[in-house]
């Protein structure tokens, strides 16, 4: 894997301070509605502010990041989990994600992203198994592995062994059906335009991570590979398997290489093998994640697309980029 260049100094293309705390308000609560909804109305935001005040929090007027879609409320006097709980109660069943965090180091300079069911909408190994007539059997193992019920490396070896004899042409057919998650390009392009380093780290296969990295503009990618002989899968994985330890190591190593405190790192993923890096990052986001992962992760996005990670950093909608 190539060594990414040192990030450029971070800037704020939106023109506003991404860490509102002018009155000593050292935390920020970000409310992010599901795309295409009107769930985040001004009255809904007022209800959240009133609920914060009833618990003794001091807050500031909302800073809208996107009209009707996302806003920041700077606050002090409550712990982040308290503020999130109060906000979720005030919002009821509205499809709005709630993230509370310190205002310091809010803009991140390193992104480590999972691929399957995160940057792309599907599990590419399950999709590959479709071409062997084994989707249901392999998808069942995938679900258990992503829920943390099985050792990831063993589960990967088991699934790949089941694909022995599959033509390597199935990779191209699978890729033709693979779709990027909405907001993936904007997430990477906007962070890179503001000096961040962006890495794709997957337990999936290099064939797919290479193409996803190129389409989204990731600086590099880390993933697994399979053994192919005479145009067909042998059923073996190239060792060592890149698992949860590899994802965490990539985060830690690149933060060190770029001389970044962990507070300035962002990790996103959906499966149990992502949890160590989510817990270690300054902002670790469980994205439309498995229940076991959402229960453990500090930040959870259930409704928004990947641009929620930009709103979480204080970027305004008009600052989003599609190309770095």
Catalytic residue IDs: 114, 116
CA–CA gap between residue 112 and residue 266 (Å, rounded) = 6
Q: Element (H or E) spanning 89, and its range?
A: helix 80-91
Cis peptide before 57 (omega within 30 of 0): no
Q: What is the 3-state secondary structure (H, E, C) of 267-312?
A: EEECCHHHHHHHHHCCEEEEECCCHHHHHHCCEEECCCCCCHHHHC
SS3 58: strand
Q: Which strands form 110-113's sheet, in the order they lie side by side? A: 220-224, 197-205, 110-113, 265-269, 283-287, 299-301
Contact 147, 273 (CB under 8 A): no
Contact 156, 146 (CB under 8 A): no
Six token digits for residue 215: 């389409």
Report how far Cα 5 is from the mean position of its chain's Cα atoms: 22
């Amino acid at each position: 894997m190539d060594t990414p260049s040192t990030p450029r100094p971070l800037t704020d293309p939106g023109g506003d301070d991404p860490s509102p705390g002018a009155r000593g308000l050292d935390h920020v609560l970000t409310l992010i509605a599901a795309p295409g909804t009107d769930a985040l109305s001004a009255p809904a935001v007022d209800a959240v502010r009133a609920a914060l005040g009833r618990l003794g929090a001091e807050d500031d007027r909302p800073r809208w990041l996107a009209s009707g879609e996302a806003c920041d409320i700077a606050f002090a006097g409550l712990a982040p989990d308290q503020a999130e709980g109060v906000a979720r109660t005030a919002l009821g069943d509205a499809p709005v994600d709630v993230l509370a965090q310190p205002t310091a180091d809010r803009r991140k300079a390193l992104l480590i992203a999972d691929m399957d069911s995160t940057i792309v909408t599907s599990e590419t190994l399950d999709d590959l198994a479709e071409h062997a007539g084994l989707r249901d059997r392999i998808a069942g193992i995938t679900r258990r592995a992503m829920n943390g019920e099985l050792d990831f490396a063993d589960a990967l070896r088991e699934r790949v062994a089941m694909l022995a004899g599959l033509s390597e042409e199935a990779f191209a057919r699978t890729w033709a059906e693979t779709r990027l998650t909405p907001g993936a390009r904007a997430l990477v392009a906007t962070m890179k335009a503001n000096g961040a380093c962006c890495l794709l780290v997957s337990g999936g296969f290099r064939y797919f991570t290479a193409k996803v990295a190129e389409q989204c503009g990731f600086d590099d990618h880390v993933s697994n590979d399979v053994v192919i002989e005479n145009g067909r899968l042998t059923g073996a994985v190239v060792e060592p398997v890149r698992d949860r330890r590899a994802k965490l190591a990539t985060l830690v190593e690149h933060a060190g290489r770029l001389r970044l405190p962990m507070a300035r790192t962002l990790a996103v993923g959906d499966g149990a093998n992502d949890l160590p890096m989510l817990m270690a990052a300054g902002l670790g986001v469980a994205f439309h994640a498995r229940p076991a992962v959402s229960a453990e992760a500090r930040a959870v996005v259930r409704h928004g697309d990947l641009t929620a990670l930009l709103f979480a950093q204080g970027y305004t909608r008009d600052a989003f980029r599609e190309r770095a």
